[in-house]
Chain A
Amino acid sequence: MQIKCYINNRLFNEVIEPDMLLIDFLRHTGFTSVKRGCDTANCGLCTVWVNEKTVLSCSVLAASVNGKHITTLEGVEDEAIAFGKFVADEGAEQCGYCSPGFIMSVLSMKRELNDPTEEEIKHYLSGNLCRCTGYMGQLRAIKKFLQQGKDGA
């Protein structure tokens, strides 16, 4: 079947199998930042945005994004760098495999939650697993990143 959608604001017109998953479609189209960590929708590595809302790309069909806007980490590189600097500053990207999904969730949280508490942050991101860092460094990076936003710096 044919689908038409925007990935990172670029129009794609592709022929796909009807049962193709969005994650495979994106990786196949060259957006390899999107990672697969499980087969049961439990890890959050594959998080992307569909029409600005976070979605697990392993759990939706590519066919379902017909006519929609998809954003992957490649599409928000400036923001990824801005936040990523805080992460690097904490040494909180270890293997980095969880980073793309995690950062997509953080950037979306920043849009949705105003001045979240620590509990709210943990709750919002609880679907994004990381096996390396123990989460604390990520939390420190998030807090500093949000703080900077508040300071208007």
Chain B
Amino acid sequence: MKVVSQSIDKLDAMALVTGKPVYTNDIAPQNCLIVKVLRSPHAYAKILSIKTDTALKVPGIACILTYKDVPNKRFTMAGQSYPEPSPYDRLILDQYVRYVGDPVAIVAGDSEKAVQKALKLIKAEYEVFKPILDPEEAIDNNTVIHTEEDYHVNFDIGNDVKRNICCSGGFESGNVDEAFEKCDVIVDEVYHTKANNQAMMETFITYTHMDYNGRLNIVSSTQIPFHVRRIAARALDIPKAKVRVIKPRIGGGFGAKQTVVSELFPAIVTLKTGKPAKMIFDRYETFAASTSRHEMKIRAKVGSDKDGNIKAIHITTLSNTGAYGEHGPTTVGLSGHKTMPLYNKAGAFKFEFQVVYTNTMSAGAFRGYGATQGAFALESAINELAAKLNMDPTILRQKNLLEEGEVLTAYHGETLRSCTLNSCINKGKELIKWDEKYPYKRISDHKVRAVGTAITMQGSGIAGIDIASVQIRLNDDGYYTLLVGATDMGTGCDTILGQMAAECLECDMDKIVVNGVDTDQSPYDTGSYASSTTYVTGMSVIKACKKLRDQMLTEASKILKVEKDTLEFDGQKIYNEEKSITLDKLAQELVVGDGNYLMASASHSSPYSPPPFMAGFVEIELDTETGQITVIDYFGIVDCGTPINPKLARIQVEGGIAQGIGMALCEDITYTELGKMKNNSFMQYKIPSRRDVGNIKVAFESSYEPTGPFGAKSIGEVVINTPPPAVAHAVYNAAGVNIRSLPITSEKILKGIMAKR
């Protein structure tokens, strides 16, 4: 292959490194009204009265909106295909506020200062209720979080809102209870993963204006332009045809921008005032008034015979969706369905789950999407099982690993068509020198070096639901325009999709112009999430290019007056043994006289979601006096099928591992007793700096996925999952302490060490 599998520079690389104005706030007009939101100081309350008259008198204030001024149509902010699994439990502004930070009023004005002043002058009176902050106390609590009559679910998700249950369900194959009875060794523990913030560097930013056709234009830093269009139309109660959404370059998303967070506030201001409006979330709001990773308590029970043949796995997940149900019903499924299939040979699987409402900030989408939480639980349990069996955990895993050709019972019965996980483990052991270093080495009287490991899987797109379309056009100079609806959020997908088109059309990358997302122009795409872009959108690129190629041959055969099936295309010219026409010439002829401007579009949706895999290996140094832990090396060995652009794939892995290390070691959203988020800035919520991640090293063990473009699967999410269980394992190997609650802090380690002494 000439272009695919090459480490080509990202198309926007030079614009980004020279600081060109490419992000939403760089291109927003100067005359935008500044929009800000008054937020609830209470975790659960009813607004009794709200006085805005004094605030409205502040010079420069254009409008102040309260719950009385917004459409009464419930919706979900979750960016998912319609009908969304997430409940319709939101209004733009509601009379009830359900977490500290819930919006109470929207203020717009000429300047930031005027708006700030007006915000302080709004007087709201509340009836305050006792909040629920602990997910374990949510079910059947006297406090009911959603009492509204128009609360709505689109289909059966096991919802029981009066009991604060957003969603519940389960799955069983084989007879788990019987299988456990026959097991010689069983691990049965509860693992606790915490809410984390995506912490992309660009906060939520949107500006809106009315265009000359009287349509609402929303320019936003979003992963889901088409879902934003649909959700905004519903929430604002206007026809979809009246909404256009444009996505400029995005300063990171990681799932945070798979939810409609900032868009509706300026949108409603623009609708009410007719003026352009802009909303920039500051970092505090980005932490405390968006969506986080779902906190989960996961009970993992795993049993095996005395030789380490795993016989049964039972996962029970309690997930905290916070005040609203965004992504609640979907994330939870991954905690079981994207963990248990790794040990497909077990034969008996059971998965039960409940997702509950509490008065904390709503959870949402974050890279890994539930699989990350599940991986901490099940991979930790597997490591504990190995310890009980007195067996090397890599050998235990290899003994029980899923294999190509198997039907994955716990993964919706999908057949595994590509998998090199076994070689990933071998490679990782070799790179980290496992056999030499496992389990630990003492390097001084209070310092120990130890290794740890975990494996993981994810999916590639949402099988049978999400859809991607592209259009490709042949322009009059013999170059192509590729229109995509998928959202490049820094991942480089515009480049990768361009590479695929160049490969199909046998040309250089500079012949392909890739155009990002504008819902008026781009073909429909559900958006960039669920690790779908390379795998799903990639396939539509291949289909569309094939169609275009065919059309080119048809037109050439007319011009050359020869049979079409004698013709060949080599990227430069269309020819047979006697005649030929260059692509340039063909393209020129097609745009004059009775020519036929060529464009082809194609959509793709996959009935499968082939899992990518990764094996993670970490070496840490632990100070047994202080509990201080340092990551020395982290090796990630990945099977993403064919890496379309190896260097961009590698950066995905390095970045995902760094985020996973953050989750493992320090990232933790906590609340005060009254429900106020304690960690709403980078001061209190530490994300890894370049001194915290050790040396991250990456290798690929490529498989070939027959249902994917050029054999590719996904890579974006699978890479974040291994650090929490691998680091916990290394801590166990260093100090004999099992940390089952994230993050793995020195306090927890030290406490464990003390308890042992």
A residues neighboring B (CB under 8 Å): 32-35, 37-40, 42-43, 45, 72-74, 77, 80-81, 83-84, 87-100, 103, 122-123, 125-139
> Which residues on the B side are within 8 Å of A34 (C-beta)?
19
B19 closest partner in A (C-beta): A33
Known: A91-B7, A103-B17. A97 touches B201 (CB 8 A): yes
Interface centre among B13, B489, B658 (most CB of A within 10 A): B13
> Which residues on the A side are within 8 Å of B508 (C-beta)?
none
Q: Do B23 and A97 have beta carbons less than 8 Å apart?
A: yes
Interface centre among B19, B202, B284 (most CB of A within 10 A): B19
Known: A91-B10, A96-B249. A80 touches B690 (CB 8 A): no
Partner among A45, A99, A133 whose Cβ is within 8 Å of the Cβ of B651: A133
> Which residues on the A side are within 8 Å of B657 (C-beta)?
134
- Assembled-state Cα–Cα distance A89/B7 (Å): 8
Known: A95-B200, A131-B659. A37 touches B283 (CB 8 A): yes
B14 in the interface, Cβ–Cβ < 8 Å? Answer: yes
Q: How far is the CB of A111 from chain B (nearest CB, A)?
A: 18
> Which residues on the A side are within 8 Å of B23 (C-beta)?
35, 97
Q: Do B201 and A133 have beta carbons less than 8 Å apart?
A: no
Q: Do B18 and A84 have beta carbons less than 8 Å apart?
A: yes
Q: Do A98 and B13 have beta carbons less than 8 Å apart?
A: no
Could you tell me the dominant secondary structure of chain B's interface residues?
loop
B310-346 CB contacts (< 8 Å) to partner A? none
B650 in the interface, Cβ–Cβ < 8 Å? Answer: yes
Known: A99-B19, A129-B689, A133-B651. A40 touches B683 (CB 8 A): yes
B113 closest partner in A (C-beta): A17
Q: Do B283 and A40 have beta carbons less than 8 Å apart?
A: yes
Q: How far is the CB of B597 from chain A (nearest CB, A)?
A: 34
Pairs A-B, 5 closest by C-beta atoms = A33-B19, A95-B490, A96-B16, A84-B17, A97-B251
B residues neighboring A (CB under 8 Å): 7, 9-10, 12-23, 25-26, 198-203, 249-252, 254, 282-284, 489-492, 645, 647-648, 650-651, 653-659, 681-683, 687, 689-691, 693, 695-697
Q: Do A137 and B201 have beta carbons less than 8 Å apart?
A: no
Q: How far is the CB of B744 from chain A (nearest CB, A)?
A: 19
- Assembled-state Cα–Cα distance A128/B689 (Å): 8
Q: Do B650 and A97 have beta carbons less than 8 Å apart?
A: no
A118 closest partner in B (C-beta): B695
Known: A73-B19, A103-B17, A133-B654. A39 touches B283 (CB 8 A): yes
> Which residues on the A side are within 8 Å of B696 (C-beta)?
134-136
> Which residues on the A side are within 8 Å of B7 (C-beta)?
91
- Assembled-state Cα–Cα distance A60/B184 (Å): 66
- Assembled-state Cα–Cα distance A136/B631 (Å): 14
**Additional 12 contacts, C-beta under 8 A, given A77-B18, A95-B490, A132-B655:** A33-B18, A33-B20, A87-B13, A88-B9, A88-B10, A91-B648, A93-B10, A93-B16, A94-B252, A97-B251, A99-B17, A132-B200
Q: How far is the CB of B6 from chain A (nearest CB, A)?
A: 12
Q: Do A135 and B658 have beta carbons less than 8 Å apart?
A: yes
Q: Do B13 and A84 have beta carbons less than 8 Å apart?
A: yes
22 contacts between A and B (CB under 8 A): A39-B284, A40-B681, A42-B681, A73-B18, A80-B18, A84-B14, A84-B18, A91-B650, A94-B252, A94-B490, A95-B489, A96-B249, A97-B251, A126-B691, A127-B689, A128-B690, A129-B201, A129-B687, A131-B687, A133-B655, A134-B654, A136-B654
Partner among A81, A127, A135, A138 whose Cβ is within 8 Å of the Cβ of B14: A81
Q: Do B689 and A92 have beta carbons less than 8 Å apart?
A: no
- Assembled-state Cα–Cα distance A72/B221 (Å): 24
Could you tell me the dominant secondary structure of chain A's interface residues?
loop
Q: Do B17 and A88 have beta carbons less than 8 Å apart?
A: yes
- Assembled-state Cα–Cα distance A45/B687 (Å): 14
A81 closest partner in B (C-beta): B18
Q: How far is the CB of B17 from chain A (nearest CB, A)?
A: 3
Partner among A39, A77, A95 whose Cβ is within 8 Å of the Cβ of B202: A95
> Which residues on the B side are within 8 Å of A100 (C-beta)?
19
Q: How far is the CB of B698 from chain A (nearest CB, A)?
A: 8
B684 closest partner in A (C-beta): A40
Q: How far is the CB of A17 from chain B (nearest CB, A)?
A: 8
- Assembled-state Cα–Cα distance A137/B693 (Å): 13
Known: A38-B283, A80-B17, A131-B201. A91 touches B690 (CB 8 A): no
> Which residues on the B side are within 8 Å of A39 (C-beta)?
282-284, 681
Q: Do A96 and B682 have beta carbons less than 8 Å apart?
A: no
- Assembled-state Cα–Cα distance A34/B23 (Å): 12
Q: Do A134 and B655 have beta carbons less than 8 Å apart?
A: yes
> Which residues on the B side are within 8 Å of A83 (C-beta)?
17
Q: Do A136 and B695 have beta carbons less than 8 Å apart?
A: yes
- Assembled-state Cα–Cα distance A139/B651 (Å): 12
Q: How far is the CB of B567 from chain A (nearest CB, A)?
A: 38
Partner among B252, B282, B491 whose Cβ is within 8 Å of the Cβ of A97: B252
Q: How far is the CB of A5 from chain B (nearest CB, A)?
A: 19
Q: Do A131 and B682 have beta carbons less than 8 Å apart?
A: no
B651 closest partner in A (C-beta): A91
Q: Do B682 and A132 have beta carbons less than 8 Å apart?
A: no
- Assembled-state Cα–Cα distance A94/B494 (Å): 12
> Which residues on the A side are within 8 Å of B697 (C-beta)?
136
> Which residues on the A side are within 8 Å of B16 (C-beta)?
84, 93, 95-96, 99
Q: Do A125 and B17 have beta carbons less than 8 Å apart?
A: no
- Assembled-state Cα–Cα distance A35/B202 (Å): 8
Q: How far is the CB of A87 from chain B (nearest CB, A)?
A: 6
Q: Do A45 and B201 have beta carbons less than 8 Å apart?
A: yes
Q: Do B651 and A92 have beta carbons less than 8 Å apart?
A: yes
Known: A131-B199, A134-B651. A95 touches B681 (CB 8 A): no
- Assembled-state Cα–Cα distance A45/B199 (Å): 13
Q: Do A91 and B647 have beta carbons less than 8 Å apart?
A: yes
- Assembled-state Cα–Cα distance A130/B17 (Å): 14
Known: A35-B201, A38-B682, A42-B682. A94 touches B651 (CB 8 A): yes
> Which residues on the B side are within 8 Å of A122 (C-beta)?
690-691
Interface centre among B12, B15, B655 (most CB of A within 10 A): B655
Q: Do B651 and A97 have beta carbons less than 8 Å apart?
A: no
> Which residues on the A side are within 8 Å of B648 (C-beta)?
91
Known: A126-B690, A130-B201. A40 touches B682 (CB 8 A): yes
- Assembled-state Cα–Cα distance A39/B12 (Å): 28
> Which residues on the A side are within 8 Å of B695 (C-beta)?
136
Partner among B12, B13, B490 whose Cβ is within 8 Å of the Cβ of A132: B490
- Assembled-state Cα–Cα distance A39/B285 (Å): 10
Q: Do B17 and A131 have beta carbons less than 8 Å apart?
A: no
> Which residues on the A side are within 8 Å of B15 (C-beta)?
96
> Which residues on the A side are within 8 Å of B659 (C-beta)?
131, 134
- Assembled-state Cα–Cα distance A45/B203 (Å): 12
Q: How far is the CB of A25 from chain B (nearest CB, A)?
A: 14
Q: Do B201 and A43 have beta carbons less than 8 Å apart?
A: yes
> Which residues on the A side are within 8 Å of B19 (C-beta)?
32-34, 72-74, 80, 99-100, 103
> Which residues on the A side are within 8 Å of B252 (C-beta)?
94-95, 97, 131-132
